[in-house]
Amino acid sequence: MKSNQIKNTINNGNCVFGTMLTNSISPRWAGHFNNIGLDYVVIDTEHSPYNRSEVANLINSFDLCNVAPIVRIPIPSAHYATMNLDAGAVGILAPYCENKEEVEEMIGAIKWKPLKGKSLEDVVKNNKFPSDKSKQYLQDLNANNICVIGIESVPAIENLDSILSVPGIDAIFVGPNDLSVSLGIPNEYENKIYEEALEEIIEKSNAKNIPTMIHHQTTSLTSTWIKKGALFVLYTSDKRTSQNGFIEEFNSIKNTASSIGKYIIKSNNIEEEIV
């Protein structure tokens, strides 16, 4: 599903589904994700050690399938956004934005590339273009680019009205770990304080017809927030899903071996993934 299909699906009130790519560098993952019915993937360059060549290869592989490649950049910087768009990404997830100025920088990079400097500032702040011809060219060039803004802290929520006033935002992203830490309740995802914060983000975003993307790691939490209005569904990661699959299936066959006295069951200490 390419970016325009994702936008159309969400605009019709339906969910799209994706996951986070954090560990895998093989381009063959694109075909696997396409086969299981994902609409998009977020390639994480904030917390993962991908280099530019690896990201470009992944983007090109997903682009050949029906899975839209979105890149989570390390910081909300125009340089990282345009670099990954030039590599072929259909969208950018800008993490940890806290004010209108950061969002304007992201909109400028994603929606009005390759305009820069004073001319770009005039467009973003005053809707003033070098010419009608330039405006049409830039609109056509960037029409399908997806801009996802990360709201992951208390200051970001306090500035949410101002942030959402910037035209061009396609989705709001919530990183539960960062947000819960900022709220003073690390990883307490059923805490009322956390739930009220998410509800405020969804309510204000929905009022602007902007969908929310909340990156939970369990099917129960993800399902809960789909019911509460999250349409841009981002669930778990390649690392966690493969890990969970191996644990479940090996536990099953180990239990069989244990039942006939061929294996002594050991406890597993699985490190939680922080996203």
**Among residues 22, 43, 6, which one has the least CA distance to residue 144?**
6
Q: Delineate the domains of the chain, giving CATH numbers in brackets.
A: 3-237 (3.20.20.60)
Q: What is the pLDDT along the chain (275 residues), one digit of tens a residue?
A: 478 899 999 999 999 999 999 988 888 888 888 888 899 999 999 999 999 999 999 999 998 888 999 999 999 999 999 999 999 999 999 999 999 999 999 999 999 999 999 999 999 999 999 999 999 999 999 999 999 999 999 999 999 999 999 999 999 999 999 999 999 999 999 999 999 999 999 999 999 999 999 999 999 999 999 999 999 999 999 888 888 888 888 899 989 999 999 888 776 554 444 55
Instruction: Report whether 234 contacts 215 (CB < 8 A).
Output: yes
Is the torsion defined by CA of 235, 142, 85, 111 positive or negative? negative
Interhelix angle 78-86/100-111, nearest 10 degrees: 20
Name the burial class of residue 250, with classes exposed (0-12), middle (13-18) and buried (19+) by CB atoms within 10 angstroms of its CB.
Answer: exposed
Its pTM stands at 0.92
